[in-house]
Amino acid sequence: MALGVLDGVKERLAGKVQEASVSHGVLVLELAPPEVLATIQRLKSEFLFDLFLDVTAVDWLGQSPRFEVVYHFYSTAHRVRLRLKTRVPEEDPTVDSLVPLYGSARYMERECHDMYGIVFRGNPDLRPILLYEGFAGHPLRKDYPKRAEQPLVRYRDSPGGRS
């Protein structure tokens, strides 16, 4: 039942997909960045993947292209999950935004942009969401040092109790 849907997806999208595999019960598709929006549109309309679960990125520092943008979808009708991956280079980490298809994409893409610097072309609002105005850099990238703080309020001269 569930696997039947996944096989159907694999078959019908064969031309667009670079690689397809099943990992722990989830179908994984790998695509090139320009194919992403059109494929997801078909997944939503033909295969009923109506719940957009998550978008995040993995920083493969040292490899080229450096970033791997990972999407997860769920079909409430068929009760299966699907993972979609695409690689974008460091010089131009741009993917199409899913805001025209799913309302929940707004905040999730903002977070991915905050943390990794992935630019979502078509998202009208890429303000910082988990970080704050004035924060320089993208902390989840592997070359951002974990303890590099950027305080907004000047620290007191004598930390501790009342001086």
Partner 1 sequence: MAGKTIPIHSASAFEYLTTKKDELVGWARKFSLFPYPFVTACCAMEFMAVSSTPYDTDRFGAALPRFSPRQSDLLMVVGTLTHKQAPILRKVYEQMCEPKWVMAFGACATSGGFYQNYAAVAGIDKVIPVDIYVPGCPPRPETVIDGIMKLQDLIARSKHPLLTADF
Partner 2 sequence: MNARLPNPVRSAFTKTERDDAVIVNIGPSHPATHGTIQIIAELDGEKVVRADAHCGYLHRGFEKECESHTWHNLIPYVDRLNYCSALVNDFAYCEAVEKLMGIEITPRCKILRTLLSEYSRIADHLTCIAASLMELGAMTAFLYLVMIRDFIYEHLADLTGARVTYTYGRIGGLARDLPAGWLARLEQILDEYEVFVGRVHGLMDRNRIFIDRTRNVGAISTAEAINWGFTGPILRSTGAPRDLRKDTPYLAYAELDFEVPVGVNGDNYDRYYVRMREMDESLHMIRQLVDMLPDGPISVDDRRCTLPEKRLVYTEIESLINHFKLIMEGPQVPAGEVYSAHEAPNGELGFYLVSTGSGTPYKVHVRSPSFVHMGGVHRLMEGYQLADIIPTFGSVNMIGGECDR
Positions in the binding site for partner 2 (CB under 8 A): 23-24, 26, 50-54, 56, 58-59, 70, 72, 74, 76, 79, 81, 83, 102-104, 106-108, 111, 115, 125, 127-134, 139-140, 142, 144, 146, 152-153
| Binding partner of 159, given partner 2, partner 1, none, CB within 5-8 angstroms per partner class | partner 1
Query: CA distances (Å), 113 to each of 5, 73, 109, in order?
Result: 32, 19, 6
| Closest to 36 measured CA to CA, from 126, 90, 101, 80 | 101
- Cα separation, 142 vs 116, whole angstroms: 9
Write down the least CB distance from residue 25 to partner 2, Å.
8
**C-beta of 154 vs 162, nearer to partner 2:** 154
Nearer to partner 1, 24 or 146 (CB): 146
Smallest gap from Cβ 115 to partner 1, in A, equals 11
Encoded tokens for 99: 């805001």
Please choose which of partner 2, partner 1, none residue 163 contacts, taking the beta carbon within 5 to 8 angstroms, the exact cut-off set by kind.
Answer: partner 1
CB of 128 to partner 2, least distance (A): 7
**Minimum separation from the CB atom of position 70 to partner 1 (A):** 22
Place of tokens 């980490």: 93
The DSSP bridge pattern shows strands 94-96 and 119-121 to be parallel
Closest distance between partner 1 and the C-beta of residue 99, in Å? 24
Secondary structure E strands in 42-140: 51-59, 67-75, 80-88, 94-96, 119-121
- Euclidean distance between CA atoms 80 and 57, whole angstroms: 22
Site residues for partner 1 per CB under 8 A:
131-132, 139, 144-153, 155-156, 159-163
